[in-house]
Chain A
Amino acid sequence: MSHLHIPDGVLPWPLWGSAWAAAFVILVVAGVIERGASPRDIAIRGSIGALVLAAMTLAIPVGPFEYHLSLLGPVGVLLGATASFEVLFIVASILAFAGHGGFTVVGLNALLLGAGAAVARPVFRLAVPRAGVAAALAIAAAVSQAAAGALWAVVMLMALRESPAGRAALGWAGGVAAAVWVGGVIVETLVALAVGRFLARVKPELFGAVGVPAAAARPAGG
C-alpha cells in the first residue's frame, strides 16, 4: 500500500524522460557534493539501501490492508539529502529488476522518494531542540512521507488527466490517493517515533552526524 514505485507504461514519456534526465543531473551534482565520501560511507550507504529494501518486508496490518514501510524520514535524517538520493536511486533500480516499479520510471521513482528524504534532515534539525530526538524523527518522517506521497499523487493525477475517462475519474481517484497518503503519513510517523525512541535509548551516538550529541539524544533516565 505504501509503495510509491510506478510501473512502466503508465505515465507519458515526456514525464519519465525528463525525470530520468533530472535524476541523472542530481546524481552528478550529488557526486560532486559527496566527492569526499570515504569507502566507509559507501559501505554504510550500501547497508542502509539494503535496510530500506528489507524494511519493505515488514508488513504492518492496517485494517484490511498491509502497510509496507518506506523509511524515508529515518533514512533522510541519518544520511542527509544527497546520500539519501543516491541510496534511493539504487533501491528503485534494484526494485525495477524485481518487477516492482518500472525501468523507464527509475528516475521518477527516485525523484519522488528522494524529495521526501531530502526534507527530513532540515526538519529534524529544526524540531530536535524543542521536541527531542524521537519526536523530531517522527515529525521529519511525517513531513518526508507527506512530501513524497503528495508528489506521487500529483504525478498519478497528471497521468489520469491524459484521457477524458481519466479526467472523469479524478474525483474518486483523488479520494483513494488522499486516503493512501494520510494512511502512509500516520504509519510512517508512528513507526519513526518508535524507531527514534529505540535508537535514542540504545545507540544515541547515531545522531551525532546530525549534530545531536549522544548525551542530548539519550532520553531522561535512559
Chain B
Amino acid sequence: MLDVIGRVDLAAASGGTVWHRASALGKLGLAALLVLLAVFTGSLPLLVSLHLLAWTLALTSRLPLRVTAAMLGYPLVFTAVFAVARWDGTLATPLLLVLRPTTACLSAAWLVATTPYPDLFAPISRVLPSRIADGLFMTYRALFELIARTERLTRALRLRGGIGGGWRRRVQASGDSVGTLVLHSFGRSERMYAAMLLRGHSGRVCGCRHYAETGTGDVWVAGCAAAALLLTLALGGFR
C-alpha cells in the first residue's frame, strides 16, 4: 500500500498530462462530485457510466496500470465479501456494491496521480483545524523516510533470518522492529522541530497558494464535471 503512495507521489510530481495543468481545487471538486454521485445513486446505468468516466480519468493520468490495479485491490476484496453476504440472486446488487467503491477509488487515483501533495493538501487545510492541517503535511513528509527505514529494517530481518522461525520469534522480531521505528520517529520529530525553528517557523505550516490557479486543464475538468451531471440527468440517477 505504501509502495502505491510512493508511485502515485512520483506520478503527481513528474507527470505532464493535461490534468497536471489543471488547478487542484477544480480536480478536488470533480473527484468529490464523482464520489458523491457514485455513493448516492441507485441507478446501475449511471453507476456504470460514472465508473467508465473514472476509468478514463485514471488511465489518462498516466499512472501505471499495475499501480491503479493495486489501489483497486483493497476496495474490491472488501466489497466482494459484502457482495457475497448480500447476494439476493440478482446481478444488480453485487454490481452496485462493487462499482461504488471502485469508482470512488479510481477518482482518487486520478486526483492524487495528477496533483502534487502540497497543492492537494493546501485547499483541504483551509477547512480543517490548523493543527490537523499541519499534521497532514508533516505526516506526509515523514512518511517516505519511514517507509524507506521500514524497508531497510525488513530486508535486514530477512537476511538475518528474523522473518522465519516460530510465531514467538516472528512476533518478537516485529515488536523489536516497531520499537526501533518508534525510537526513530521520536528522533526524527526532534530533528524536524529543530529544522522548523531554524527556518523561522511561525506556528503554522502553510501550503502553497497556487492550488486555485486555473490552467488549460481546467477546461477538461469542467467538461468531465458537466458530463457527469448530464449523465445523471439523462439516466435519472436519483429518481
Contact = CB atoms under 8 A, between A and B. Distances in A.
Contact of A100 (B32, B74, B124, B182): B74
A124 interface: no
Nearest to A32: B129
Contacts of A131: none
Interface size of A as a range:
35 or more
Contacts of A129: none
| Residue from A172, A195, A202 with most neighbouring chain B CB atoms (10 Å) | A195
B177 A99 contact: no
A141 to B, nearest CB: 11
B192 interface: yes
Nearest to A38: B193
Contacts of B192: 43, 46-47
| Residue from B8, B36, B124, B179 with most neighbouring chain A CB atoms (10 Å) | B179
B190 to A, nearest CB: 8
A194 B138 contact: no
Contacts of B203: 39
Contact of B112 (A51, A98, A194): A98
A86 B132 contact: yes
Nearest to B32: A103
Contacts of B87: 165, 169
Nearest to B85: A169
Interface size of B as a range:
35 or more
A104 B35 contact: yes
A10 B78 contact: yes
Contact of A55 (B79, B111, B178, B196): B178
A124 B38 CA distance: 43
| Residue from B32, B136, B175, B201 with most neighbouring chain A CB atoms (10 Å) | B175
B105 A47 contact: no
Contacts of A206: 182, 186
A50 B176 CA distance: 18
A50 B100 contact: no
B87 to A, nearest CB: 6
Contact of A46 (B75, B85, B108, B141): B141
Interface in A35-93: 37, 39-40, 42-51, 53-58, 60-61, 69, 71, 74, 78, 86-87, 89-91, 93
Given A74-B178, A96-B108, A164-B88, 13 more contacts: A7-B79, A31-B131, A40-B193, A42-B135, A46-B134, A46-B137, A47-B146, A48-B189, A53-B143, A58-B178, A90-B136, A97-B112, A197-B175
